[in-house]
Amino acid sequence: MGRFDGKVAVVTGAGRMRGIGRAAALTFAREGAHVTVAGTGRDPQTFPQDEQEAGWKDVDSVAQEIRDLGVDALSLVADVTKADHIQNMVDRTVERFGRIDFLVNNASAPRMAAWAEFEDLTEEAWRYVMDVKVTGAFLCTQAVTKVMMRQGWGGSIVNVISVEAKISRPTDLAYATASGALYTFTTKAGRALAPHGIRVNGVSPGTTDTARNDALYGFPRRPEWAARVESIPIGRAGTPEEIGEFIAWLCSKEAEFIVGQCIEIDGGQAT
């Protein structure tokens, strides 16, 4: 028996082989939940080398891994900045599984999407990062909470933020600002939705060994990675699995008195 037997989770940004979204989706599945995994529909030619060598198929591969665990999965391509895409994701999830209990807002803009000196940061890049990380979380949360309210038994939502909101580098302004906005959204939405039995919380990972960091540190990792890891007080990077497991725990009965919190999982980086 799993903690989430018969329940349903929706995880966005879940298509990467080395990613927090995949790790969270698999953790929910191991605990008995059916899972909708959503991604952007990346061009396979842009996949990192390890994904290409593995014959990786983005969210379809994650969905198959979930089915191999004995529960059902639905894989979807969805742009979280578009309300109609989100509504389609929610509608198809309810049509397939009959309910939604958990949402993980993990979708985020590429790490280098707005990486620039302040004076060179374009409005287009700024808006793109804000739209994906902040507007996307809002649209997904609003669409899912409407279902949860109709169901009447509550639910749990986890936003994946970033400690960059607190330790920002000067070239990471847009991403860090979006992360700060998501902190605020989490606390405010947590307060607004708690009376409906819907808990909203956030996890704020520090440097985690995911494909998202390939743009900064290469894969295999360049020497700069070692320097970054040495700056972490605990002396190592995080893993997608430990972040994914904590996300699932936040959705469990054991965490049901935690509301509107943004919890840093960062090895002491933001301390």
Active site residues: 175
Q: Which residues pair with 155 in a beta bridge?
A: 198
The sign of the CA dihedral 51, 247, 98, 142 is: negative
* Angle subtended at Cα 267 by Cα 270 and Cα 113, rounded to the nearest 5 degrees: 65
Structure tokens at 193: 């939705």
C-alpha 78/C-alpha 247 separation (Å) is 21
Q: In b/e form, how buried is each residue of 175-214, taking b as 16+ CB within 10 angstroms?
A: bbbbbbbbbebbbebbeebeeeebbbbbbbbbbbbbbbbb
C-alpha 211/C-alpha 240 separation (Å) is 10
Q: Are 262 and 43 in contact (CB under 8 A)?
A: no
C-alpha 43/C-alpha 185 separation (Å) is 31
Secondary structure of residue 131 in the 3-state scheme: helix
For residue 125, give the amino acid letter.
Answer: A
At residue 160, what are phi and psi to the nearest 5 degrees? -95, 115
C-alpha 13/C-alpha 19 separation (Å) is 8
Name every residue whose Cβ is closer than 8 Å to that of residue 94 and which is 6 or more positions away in sequence: 100, 147
Q: In what order do the strands lie in the sheet with 102-105?
A: 73-77, 34-39, 8-11, 102-105, 155-160, 198-205, 262-265
